[in-house]
Amino acid sequence: MLLNLVTPLHESTKRDYQARILDNKVEAMTEARKFEENYWDGPRRYGYGGYAYDGRWESVARGLVDRYDLKAGDNVLDIGCGKGYLLYELQRLQPKLTLIGIDRSAHAIANPHPDFKGVLLRRQIQHGLPNFRDETFALVLSLGTLHNLTLSELWRTLPEIQRVGKRGYIMVESFRSEAEWFNLVAWCLTAETLMRPEDWQFLFDKTGYTGDHEFVYFA
Ligand SMILES: C[S@@+](CC[C@H](N)C(=O)[O-])C[C@H]1O[C@@H](n2cnc3c(N)ncnc32)[C@H](O)[C@@H]1O
């Protein structure tokens, strides 16, 4: 099912596409793709421009608890969890969830909210999830992360997400028009796979991913 949980948050951010494309973008992309301190807490041209907890994920977390009926004892996995702030919001709403995040960034997983009680692991998702049995998780999330994989990596990863989760929710960046393609290319620093929604759907179908999804656009 197509969801609309992150789009309101995404649309509330201002972005100067022209300025970014003119600002030595290849150097900025090269640094951003390390996904380390500069990407999170360095200058805005490398990524977040300073990412401290500000509660912005609360509405998304509420939407997840409602849609997936998350209850005490359920396990939730967030792939590309960053600093784990969405997982922390889930913890605030339902303290008895078991919360696991994986991310390739050492800097991100070393800097969760101090009260977060779940587990953040350093992994690259394209290497699979061999430590988790089939249907370990009530919900597997991956927000803003999978477009950073190549097509062959996605081909291996989507079946893993399907395997370990009873439900799934994937959000990726996409485009529907020339203008959105241009803005996305101008803005994004780390994305490898830029596809229209119908091509993401084609890939979901071909890899057997049947969970939910959402696309964000750069209008
Ligand atoms: C745009 S951030 C999204 C973070 C968080 N999910 C959110 O929505 O705020 C992309 C995240 O994907 C992580 N990431 C990128 N490539 C990855 C990979 N191959 N395996 C695991 N994590 C990856 C980055 O370190 C970063 O935390």
- Per-residue pLDDT tens digits for 2-12: 999 999 999 99
> What letter represents residue 114's amino acid?
P
Average pLDDT value for residue range 188-216: 98
Q: Is 197 exposed, middle or buried (0-12, 13-18, 19+ CB in 10 A)?
A: middle
Pocket around ligand 1 at a 6 A CB cut-off: 35, 80-82, 103-105, 108, 124-126, 143-145, 148-149
Confidence of residue 205 (pLDDT cuts 50, 70, 90): very high
79 closest CA partner among 9, 7, 1, 154? 154
Ligand 1, atom nearest to 142 Cα: 6
Ligand 1 geometric centre to CA of 80 (Å): 4
Ligand 1 geometric centre to CA of 69 (Å): 25
80 closest CA partner among 7, 5, 134, 161? 161
Ligand 1 geometric centre to CA of 144 (Å): 7
pLDDT digits (tens, 9 = 90+) for 63-96: 999 999 999 999 999 999 999 999 999 999 999 9
Which residues, in sequence order, are CB contacts of 52 under 8 Å at separation 6+?
none
Q: Where are the alpha helices (DSSP H) in the chain?
A: 7-11, 17-22, 25-32, 37-41, 58-68, 85-93, 106-109, 151-164, 178-187, 197-207
Q: Is 96 exposed, middle or buried (0-12, 13-18, 19+ CB in 10 A)?
A: exposed
Q: Provide the pLDDT for residue 49.
A: 95
- Going by their DSSP bridges, the two strands 119-122 and 98-103 should be labelled as parallel
Set out the domains of the chain in order of their start, with CATH numbers: 7-217 (3.40.50.150)
Return the percentage of the chain with pLDDT > 70, whole number: 100
Q: Provide the pLDDT for residue 191.
A: 97
Ligand 1, atom nearest to 85 Cα: 9
Confidence of residue 182 (pLDDT cuts 50, 70, 90): very high
> What letter represents residue 64's amino acid?
L
pLDDT digits (tens, 9 = 90+) for 116-141: 999 999 999 999 999 999 999 999 99
Separation CA 51–CA 54 (nearest Å): 9
Q: Provide the pLDDT for residue 43.
A: 96
Ligand 1, atom nearest to 81 Cα: 6
Average pLDDT value for residue range 45-67: 97
Ligand 1 geometric centre to CA of 65 (Å): 22
